[in-house]
Amino acid sequence: MVKKFLAAFFVSALALTLGPIAPSSAKEKEITLALWDEVQKPIIQQSIDKFNKKFKGKYKASIAQTPWGEFWTKLDATMPTRSTPDVTWMNVFLPKYANGKVLEPLGPYIKKDKKLKMNQYVPGRVAAFNYNNEQWALPKGMDAVFVAYNKEIFDKYKVSYPRANWDRKSLQAITKLLRTKMDAAGATSEYPLAMELDLQPSTANFLAQDGADFVTLDKKKTLAGTPTGIATFQYVVDLMDSRRMAPYTVLSETKASDLFISGKAAIIFVGSWKAKILENSSLGKAKKIGLVQQPKGKIHNYSVAGGLGYAMAKNSQNKAGAWELIKYLTGRQSMTNEALNGIEFPARPDAQRAYARGFENIDPQVILAATRTAVPYPHNGNPASLLPLQNAIALAYSGKAPVAETIRAGAAATQKLIDELNK
């Protein structure tokens, strides 16, 4: 008691001597933003810095970046606790977290906020984060997949560049010719084609383009195990087996974008979230990167498109600050800055024009065209139900199991889980 009295006395004496004390950073309420992309982090940090300046003495935000491979495991462990990040990136996994009651419904905040207007966002992206008639996140951006090619490699081997409106037969012919010429030159460590084997940059696109959706739009079926779907997977495996595409052993250890910008791959299928990597690479600065839409499959060449949003944790210890941060990061200023830096095609129409101005070395119009024709990213919001199929795809691509049997078994197991969810 004496110690408390003396402490209070000295604080009062100091206040009388020095006058009113300005709010210190120690009194600022901490807000943590969880994200996974190391490429986007520096640009988003610029918005965080401006937010902290605007709310100095009240809130102080910081970024907790965790690589994609560990992000969701860490989020699952922390969100039910008081140590959860206050704000987190959210994607098609939204239903899992909404059903798990670890996200804060944003409807009451939107209704109460007099300045926020939901019509400032692209309606489709707002709908993507509306589940069971509740808004769980504000939209950040949109993405799509396109094709980049290395002009230096094509010129070296005297092969014509991919043309607009090409198809998979053209892709087969180009990669076959490149492989033949690479082998003749002894360039065994070069590859005509590379792609990241995650769903969005490759497999989900091919299935959608062939009419064998990984998950149908009504989220009730997977068509991956149909004859059409199996043929699509076999097509990818044949590309690897014929060395027209980098093998599974390489693609499972090295990013396709790294192979491309280091001059080891002539063509890549790549997502818009890596556009700035292409732009800023030495290859890009030399104006040696061409862009084109994906080659047409059996039905179309449309990209599957996703997009991120900002969600609030139910257990956030500073929900008022978290809401202010979400609004700030999805505001026109922040989204325009992201667009200018090429890390995101904004979910706000009033910021989208800035996207094209952020590129000098690659053609952003190809990327914009891909977003305009894109189809929804196929997912049912329940990752566990899709895991058997994803494991089967990895096994089939590895060459350690027959394609047809493996995919059929994985698709059947996933369909059983989907059916149980829809009972």
Largest pairwise CA distance in the chain: 88
Among 9-23, 147-161, 284-298, the least confident range: 9-23
Please indicate whether residue 26 or residue 56 has the higher confidence score (pLDDT).
56
Higher-pLDDT residue of 420, 197: 420
Instruction: Answer whether residue 11 shows pLDDT above 80.
Output: no
255-296-122 Cα angle (round to 5): 75
**What digits encode the pLDDT tens for the residues 124-150?**
889 889 998 999 999 999 889 999 999
Report the pLDDT value the prediction gives residue 318, as an integer from 0 to 100: 97
The model's confidence at residue 197, banded by pLDDT at 50, 70 and 90, is confident
Residue 15 has pLDDT above 80, yes or no: no
pLDDT per position as a tens digit, 357-375: 989 999 999 999 998 888 8
Give the pLDDT confidence score for residue 77 in this predicted structure. Answer: 96
Average pLDDT over residues 73-96: 95
* AA letter at 25: S
Task: Quote the pLDDT of residue 134.
Answer: 96
Amino acid at 360: E
pLDDT tens digit string along 114-129?
Answer: 889 999 998 888 988 9
Stretch 339-365: mean pLDDT, rounded? 91
pLDDT at 240: 96
Domains of the chain, first to last: 25-142+306-375 (3.40.190.10), 145-302+382-421 (3.40.190.10)
Q: How confident is the model at residue 185 (pLDDT cuts 50, 70, 90)?
A: very high
26: pLDDT confidence band, cut at 50, 70 and 90? low
Q: Give the whole-angstrom CA distance, residue 331 versus residue 334.
A: 6
Tokens representing 404? 């047809």
* pLDDT value, residue 411: 98
What proportion of the chain, given as a percentage, has pLDDT over 70? 94
Assign 190 a pLDDT band (cuts: 50, 70, 90). very high
Residue pair 317/32 in contact by the 8 Å Cβ criterion:
no
Nearest in space to 141 (alpha carbons), one of 121, 157, 159: 121
**Is the pLDDT at 5 greater than 50, yes or no?**
no
Task: Determine the average pLDDT of the residues in 80-100.
Answer: 94
Q: Give me the chain's average pLDDT, please.
A: 91
pLDDT for 184 equals 97
Q: What is the pLDDT of residue 25?
A: 46
Polymer length of the chain: 423
Q: What is the pLDDT of residue 14?
A: 33
How many CB atoms are located within 10 Å of the residue 162 CB? Answer: 21
The answer, yes or no, to whether residue 294 has pLDDT greater than 60, is: yes
The answer to whether residue 49 scores a pLDDT higher than 80 is yes
- Given this model, what pLDDT does residue 339 score? 92
Give the tens place of pLDDT for each residue, 262-278: 999 999 999 998 999 99
Q: How far is CA 342 from CA 23, 222, 317, 402, in A?
A: 37, 34, 33, 41
The alpha carbon dihedral of 166, 171, 174, 177 has a sign of: negative
Q: What is the CA radius of gyration of the chain?
A: 25
Inter-residue contact 159 to 193 (CB < 8 Å): no
Question: How far is Cα 378 from Cα 380, in angstroms, rounded to an integer?
Answer: 7
- Mean pLDDT over 322-347 rounds to 94
Q: Evaluate if pTM is beyond 0.85.
A: no
